[in-house]
Chains A and B, each alone.
Chain A
Amino acid sequence: MSHESANGRISESANHATPDTLQASRITPAPYWSRRRYLALLLGALALSVTVALGTAWGSLAIPPTTVTRMLLGRLPWMTISPDWPATWETVLFQVRLPRVVLAGLVGAALALAGAVYQGLFRNPLADPYLIGVSSGAGLGATLAIYFTVQVTWAGLGAISIFAFFGALLATAVIYALARVGGKTPITTLLLAGVALGAFLSSITTYLMLSGKDAFHTFHVVSWMMGSLALANWQQVRVLTPYLLLGLTIILVNARPLNVLQLDEEQAQQLGLNVERIKLALVVAASLITASAVAVSGIIGFVGLIVPHAVRLVWGPDHRFLLPMTTLVGAIFLILADGLARTLLSPSELPVGVITAFCGAPFFLYLLRRKKQAIF
């Protein structure tokens, strides 16, 4: 068998027929990676750094932004800035505000990224990170920890975080196993199993919550479920970061296959993808980052639903760009929302979920109206 007649036939004849095909990458319409998209990612990263500085400067104790910038820059290893500010500022900035801002960024990034993955995987615009069991599993886990006042700590995390984390992962694993039929996991079955098991777990959570021995338990569960970053500390950041990085890596590696999965699964397989393996990898990675975000912050809604849509509306559906950009925008969005949540009713706090829904929904509707073509 000669190589000329095998694969490569089309390209060979193409080179003979039209010399300009060599510049195909330059003249082809709408290439995946244009210089504009790289620039947009760069600007996104820049905007994130500015948002971190802003979020840190923002609070009831007024520290001038210039001082904040100098304090932050002073922490960089190669900078030498002599401190001319009170020690209390140092504490407020580095032990209270900065960990909270960083944690908000990580949680926002995780939720938005997981939302984008689920929307792509399920080819469903209503999908969010909590679709297949993460919220109900984490909710039940946290409720159990509160109800039985479990006293364990691990890696500096309290019982509620640990129970929520493993509850979320366990629920997702059970749903995935339930949806598996004959070596395959059809997406529709996965969705339905998620809805069914989610309702089942939530009913247990509600029962435990209402049968609680004292009102404090109920209050504790409810406030945890609404999501908050008020208890942020550096230890949580340290625990969350590796999971987020691992999940992000797995997801970005599968970004192009996720594009191909926008066809149906049969076509994706006929195009040479190991569809079941890719689905499993994406579900594992997305649940892992959602579970770790939920463990430290409770259930913050709306970020994972609207941020991917907003990015998709502006920049289109290519996951190779959508996923990294969603990560950046998710971080920025939750840092800003949490900034509002802790200052609007100062000295008391709003649940950050109230802000994400209140600001996110109108913005999303605006985008939807502005761009009238199909978005999904």
Chain B
Amino acid sequence: MKTNLWSLARFLRHDDLSLPPHGCLLEAQRVSFAYNGRPVLRDVNLRVCPGQMVGVIGPNGAGKSTLIKILSRLLHPDEGRVSLGGQDLSHWGHAQLARHLAVVPQGAQLPETFTAWEVVLMGRTPYLGLLGSETPADMAVARRAMEETNTWHLASRFIGQLSGGERQRVVMARALAQEPRVLLLDEPTLHLDISHQLEILSLVRRFVDEQDLAVLAIFHDLNLAAQFCHELILLSQGRVFAQGRPEEVITASNIAAVYEAKVTILPHPRNGRPTVLPN
């Protein structure tokens, strides 16, 4: 009974996202941005739709992290617009935006003396009012997010006692506790070993497939990007160099042009996705 009341409360305060005609939640149109006159992004167009995982690849300094900051409104584009659910990002209130869009930043700083549980509960911040403290429903969501990310057993541990991979999963749990429709990930597998890389990405992919989450993720590893994404965007010096299905984007000529590296591209023996091998 109590749960039903809480769902009702959630339903009443719920500000739903409407889908624009093209069916995509997050859209950047002709976005340009410069740091102190130095152009970082030039004329970037992209769309992320529900149930779609979009990967952003490109060499260091191509503007990948800046793109995430613009998409999450930490920075404002000099030209062009970013819209969520068809509405310009600037129309959204702080908390309202965070209820729909969550970010897993690169190498997120976490306070060492807080417990993993406390950090994941911070994901409920956009749902709490002034003076708000977490309701049992909020705690249930946070717990579920920890179980999904395989961090529930770490709940009472201090952040200072966790390994890099465990921290990354805690940040992931915090983002899921926001119950977002759109998730932005900045190199979610950085510094993780292969088993944790696959674990995190499979988890994200499962949310994409089963719950229609819209994901945009930055990748350093081209093979992982090709394996997990529906669509890839190859950035070069702030411009979109190529955009499309992994086999269209990850080609020997594209990699040679953007990364200045000679590679051989082979189809994955099991699923035919492109895999990158050094020459």
Interface residues of A (CB under 8 A from B): 1, 3, 5-15, 17-18, 21-25, 28-33, 123, 253, 256-257, 259-260, 262-264, 266-267, 269-274, 316-318, 320, 373-376
Interface assignment of B115: CB less than 8 Å from any CB of chain A: yes
* Residues of chain B lying within 8 A (CB to CB) of residue A373: 113, 158, 160
Chain B hits for A375, CB < 8 A: 113
Given the known A-B contacts A253-B130, A266-B105, are A7 and B113 also in contact in the complex, defined by CB atoms under 8 Å? no
Q: Which of B55-63, B132-140, B266-274 contacts A (4 or more CB under 8 A)?
A: B132-140
Asked if B155 CB lies within 8 Å of chain A CBs, one says yes
| In the complex with contacts A267-B109, A270-B74, A271-B122, A21-B99 CB distance below 8 A | no
Contacts across chains A and B counted by CB atoms under 8 Å: 160
Q: Is the CB of A28 within 8 A of B178?
A: no
Interface size class of B (residues with CB under 8 A): 35 or more
Known contacts A29-B155, A273-B125; 17 further A-B pairs (Cβ under 8 A): A3-B16, A5-B212, A8-B14, A8-B179, A10-B148, A10-B179, A28-B155, A30-B117, A30-B156, A32-B118, A32-B134, A270-B98, A271-B123, A271-B125, A272-B97, A272-B125, A318-B118
- What is the chain A residue whose CB lies nearest that of B155? A29
Residue of A13, A29, A260 with most partner-chain B CB within 10 A: A29
Residue B103, interface by CB 8 Å = yes
- Interchain CB contact under 8 A, B115 and A10: no
**In contact, A21 and B140 (Cβ under 8 angstroms):** yes
Cα distance A17–B100 when bound, in Å?
A: 24
Contact of B3 with A22 in the complex, beta carbons under 8 Å: yes
> For the complex, is B7 an interface residue (Cβ under 8 Å from A)?
yes
B176 contacts across to A, CB distance below 8 A: 10
Answer whether A269 and B141 are a contact pair too, CB < 8 Å, given A29-B115, A317-B114.
no
A9-B179, A271-B126, A273-B94 known; A21-B143 Cβ under 8 A = yes
Identify 15 residue pairs between A and B in the complex whose beta-carbon atoms are under 8 Å apart, listed by A's number.
A6-B16, A7-B179, A11-B179, A22-B140, A24-B142, A29-B115, A31-B139, A32-B118, A260-B122, A260-B125, A270-B105, A271-B125, A271-B178, A272-B99, A376-B112
| Most chain B beta carbons < 10 A, residue from A10, A24, A29, A30 | A10
B99 cross-chain contacts in A, Cβ below 8 A: 7, 272
- Whether B202 sits at the interface, judged by CB under 8 Å, is no
